[in-house]
Structure 1
Amino acid sequence: MSEQKPATGPIYRMPTVFGPAIGPRQAPEGVIFDPTTSPKKFCAYVSFRTDALLLEQMLPEDFTLRGDPIVIVEFGYMTEIDWLAGRGYNMLSVRIPVRFKHGNDSTVIDGFFQPVVWENMTEPILSGREELGWSKIFAELPAPEKRDGKIVCRAEWMGFRFLELTLTEIRKSDAAPFATSPVLHRKYIPTTGQWGEADADYITMTPAGGSHARLQEHFTGDASLSVFAPSWQDMPTQHQCVTYLARLPKHEYIQAGVYSTVGGKDLSDQIRF
């Protein structure tokens, strides 16, 4: 089964003078992307309980914590991506369980707020930031190391290792890794020449459901997560972000493991509030 969703109009990204931008939501003429087979994805994750006040300070207006103060950190390694002509890229995401109440209306959404995502390729970063409102930035995300019964995932920037997840005691699980929930983001684009003002500043949501992703296998394990606070010299443009994450205490590891999926969706169902 193949699927090509019609667009309401051509999607442009800079440089615009060469025509509409090819990407996950816009195929070249004559090409049809198949979300039932693309992408293939291997993920490693951990969730932990932390300090509620520190998490609350990260949340935009109209957001509150939902339940316990928990952080989910997940590495994703994607291959055989249709819109990249079979190539792949890697990502590292951070999510927080939240409740979102939109302004003065009656909209209430229980889901996850995603304050930051790292990826190791320019094109998905630009597409995700500009079209979807995801807070994507760059990092080097090498393939996971698998040896001696453990899996190690690392994130680096220009040679500085800022995050490392180690999984041990890995065992088969028949349960799904996570319940599917909406993921919320704050899209912000500054106004050129009017510094401190915004061209765009609003919440976007990646709805739950609609994905063709099929779980292939899931393993749980024991986790150890390290976040290394950089100096300004180590990570000049990202040290504030990583230092804040490094401050989060890990009171208790809740769940950890790895899983594999095939298929997905192009996220053209993204919602703006």
Structure 2
Amino acid sequence: MSRGQKGFQFEKGAPYVMPAHFGAAREGWDGKRAHYEDNTALTVLYATEPAQAARLLPPGFSVAEPAVVSVSFVMCRGVDFMAGGGYNLVAVNLAARYRGKRDRVEGNFSLVLWENDFFPIVLGREVLGAPKLFGTIPDAWRRDGRQGFNVSEYGTLLLEGELWDLRRLEEPERKALAAQVEGQLWMGWKYIPSCDLRGADVSFATVLPARGEIREAWMGQGQVTFHETPWERAPLSSRVVKALARLPVVQNLGSVVTRGWQDLLISEQRPLG
């Protein structure tokens, strides 16, 4: 750098995201949590074969029993880091446990998330290490007493879910459901490849706590269908959908619809070891 010029300097402890050389990302958000004021979630659950599901887990993880897969469509609104905006996502989680030299954790392992907005995708991948992909995700549909959702890539349908026979939970049931999910941990594997794609600059397990409130809830029946598609029609998601489609449905476990708020406690996320 020429004499008299002063280059960019990083401030220790400041919340940076790429492009970092424009300064810390402080405006309108402190980076310590991600607040979602109004989340509507449609979740379909089923048990799968543990041995097959285990092939999708990285080192240190094992499948919980029963091996429960949950596929959730979430309509996120009032998101603070998006200046009150929102987006839709579909997440596929697997009940799992982590056993390391230091940590013993049980919760849900994030297999994949599709989202329909670039901002939460890039923030989630870079900060959380969440396995996020872009997808076209319309708002959930309702007709003839049923609700449903779908994800597509470049016009190619990847998956679709449908829920029916939904019954609104009474207050004691709602409280019981809230107690069941309270403190549930979300685990993942943060992976950032090396510059030559022949290794990893970052590769480790993570755990993210959250808090929230379920204001309303319904329970019923549901099913999810994954559509295997060739790479030429879905170059981003083909390998993911192919693997998920081959997980057998051993038992359908019904569906849940919830509405409430949630905080992702980013400052409390940590590596597992």
TM-score normalised to structure 2 length: 0.87
Superimposed CA distance per residue, residues 71-121 of structure 1 (whole angstroms, 9 cap, x where no aligned partner): 11111101122221221011111111111111xx24211111112111111
Equivalent residues in 2 for 1:1-273, closer than 5 Å = 9-22=13-26, 26=30, 35=35, 38-102=36-100, 105-173=101-169, 174-175=173-174, 176=177, 178-180=180-182, 181-193=184-196, 195-207=197-209, 209=210, 211=211, 213-273=212-272
Distance 1:34 1:78, change over 3 A: closer
Q: CA deviation at 1:33?
A: 8.8
In structure 2, what is the Cα distance between the partners aligned to 1:33 and 1:186? 19
Identity over aligned pairs, percent: 27
Distance 1:24 1:113, change over 3 A: farther
Name the counterpart of 2:7.
Answer: none
Q: CA deviation at 1:179?
A: 2.3
The structure that has the greater radius of gyration is 2
Unaligned runs of 5+ in 2: 1-10
In structure 2, what is the Cα distance between the partners aligned to 1:255 and 1:164? 15
Q: Could you tell me which amino acid in structure 1 is paired with residue 142 of structure 2? A: K
Q: Could you tell me which amino acid in structure 2 is paired with residue 10 of structure 1? A: A
Partner of 2:268, secondary structure, is coil
Q: Could you tell me which amino acid in structure 1 is paired with residue 95 of structure 2? A: P
Q: CA deviation at 1:25?
A: 5.5
In structure 2, what is the Cα distance between the partners aligned to 1:99 and 1:262? 26
Q: CA RMSD in A?
A: 2.2
Q: CA deviation at 1:22?
A: 4.9
In structure 2, what is the Cα distance between the partners aligned to 1:130 and 1:190? 12
- Greater helix content: 2
8 Å contact kept, 1:25–1:266: no
Partner of 1:268, secondary structure, is helix
Partner of 1:250, secondary structure, is coil
How many residue pairs were aligned?
255
Superimposed CA distance per residue, residues 211-249 of structure 1 (whole angstroms, 9 cap, x where no aligned partner): 2x2211100111121110011111112211111111112
- Greater strand content: 2
Q: Could you tell me which amino acid in structure 1 is paired with residue 83 of structure 2? A: A
Name the counterpart of 1:4.
Answer: none
Q: Could you tell me which amino acid in structure 2 is paired with residue 82 of structure 1? A: D
